[in-house]
Structure 1
Amino acid sequence: MRKINSFTFITLDGYYKDNDSDISWHNHGAEENKFSEEQLQQGNILLFGRITYELMYSFWPTQAAKNLYPIVAERMEDAEKMVISNSMQRAVWNNTTVLGGDIIEQIKKLKSTKGKNLTILGSGSIVHLLTDAGLIDEYTIMIDPLALGAGTSLFSGIKNKLALELADIRTFKNSGIVVLTYRKNAG
């Protein structure tokens, strides 16, 4: 059975984007780049919502990305990717499949088969949807050392209490970022 991991960066006050949907506040330093290289080496299928897919596609296949972050850019390009969208008919990024229709049923079916695990990158609305359905096994949350005061919270409006167990902590000393990994509590 496949597992699903959510990878999201948030602020100290729990927002993954500000009121204007801006995420430019996130710190993209050398330590985060190294962490991204390690995560992408796992070979998981990358899962995006349409908005995050478009944001990622606007950067990672470019020469600027290849110059700044060559290993991450190559792994993003080569990775198998899925974009969840009922409005997108086809994806243009290399190795990308579009999932539409009943997303919950499709993800349940995908999880029940053997194969690569899935990692949701950002995509707050997809995290929210799959959290409510109980389909995410692990949450990796990168906390930036700043507060926005307002924005969109990752777990705002979830229907059921989400009990998690701390699995790992990683600190990036240069940026002050902390990465917390939680697993779904079996109890």
Structure 2
Amino acid sequence: MKKVILDLAVTLDGFIEGPNGEIDWCIMDEDMDFDGFLDSIDTIFYGRASYDVWGNYQPEEGAGIAEQKLWQGVHSKNKFVFSGQKRQDPNATFISSDIVEKVAEIKQQDGKDIWLYGGAGLIKTFIQSGLIDIYRISVHPVALGSGKPLFEDLKQRVELKLLKTNTFQSGVVQLIYEPVR
């Protein structure tokens, strides 16, 4: 069965965005092997706002080959957008109800794992609904003091078991957990 993987950058003080939505603090080390992660998935889950910004993003003209390859890899995946809006999009399937049931159906399909991309509202819904199978959190060596927290409005404790730790040249530490069920 496919797994839902939350792969996300977070600041040392627990924010996924700065107070104005900024993510300029994110570091992409070559040794993070993001291409390997992309190869391990075939599906991406977006919230509507994140999809509108990043779901069809194209790098600027003159972008390097590595950035172009990264976005080609992202755009080659099946995309599902969880939104209250019902809309037709040739590049994604919109889901507006029965999230738990729809996720269960998608996980039963053949193929590779699923990247829970976000945004924050969708991530919160997935955490509260117990829909995340793997938490792959990359802690960046910066503290913002305010912004959008990763864990917000938890209704109950989230118990996690550490599976692996990766340390990168930049000082980013990646923590890979699975929920204790």
* TM-score with structure 2 setting the length: 0.88
- Of 35, 38, 42 in structure 1, the residue corresponding to residue 36 of structure 2 is 38
Q: How many residues are aligned here?
A: 180
- Of 152, 176, 179 in structure 1, the residue corresponding to residue 174 of structure 2 is 179
Question: Shift of the alpha carbon at 1:60?
Answer: 4.0
Counterpart CA distance in 2 for 1:77 and 1:150 is 31
| 1:26-85 deviation per Cα after TM superposition (whole angstroms, max 9, x unaligned) | 1234344xx220101113311111122122235346655563423322211211111111
Counterpart CA distance in 1 for 2:60 and 2:90 is 14
Matched, 1:104 2:104: no
Residue aligning to 2:46: 48
Residue aligning to 1:15: 15
Residue aligning to 1:78: 76
| 1:117-145 deviation per Cα after TM superposition (whole angstroms, max 9, x unaligned) | 21111422111101111111110001110
Counterpart CA distance in 1 for 2:128 and 2:31 is 32
Unpaired runs of at least 5, structure 2: none
Residue aligning to 2:85: 87
Counterpart CA distance in 2 for 1:169 and 1:152 is 24
* TM-score with structure 1 setting the length: 0.85
Counterpart CA distance in 2 for 1:153 and 1:68 is 30
Residue aligning to 2:136: 140
2:59·2:68 contact (CA, 8 Å) conserved in 1?
no
Matched, 1:5 2:1: no
Which secondary structure does the structure 2 equivalent of 1:180 belong to?
A: strand
Counterpart CA distance in 2 for 1:102 and 1:49 is 15
Which secondary structure does the structure 2 equivalent of 1:59 belong to?
A: coil
2:41·2:115 contact (CA, 8 Å) conserved in 1?
no
Which secondary structure does the structure 2 equivalent of 1:166 belong to?
A: strand
1:66·1:74 contact (CA, 8 Å) conserved in 2?
no
Counterpart CA distance in 1 for 2:63 and 2:55 is 11
CA RMSD, Structure 1 to Structure 2 (Å): 2.1
Q: Percent identity?
A: 26
Counterpart CA distance in 1 for 2:73 and 2:153 is 34
The residue type paired with residue 38 of structure 1 is G
Counterpart CA distance in 2 for 1:60 and 1:39 is 20
| 1:75-132 deviation per Cα after TM superposition (whole angstroms, max 9, x unaligned) | 1121111111122512354xx2211123233223333x23232111142211110111
Matched, 1:67 2:93: no
Query: In 2 relative to 1, CA 3–60 (structure 1 residues): closer, same or farther, beyond 3 Å?
Result: same
Unpaired runs of at least 5, structure 1: none
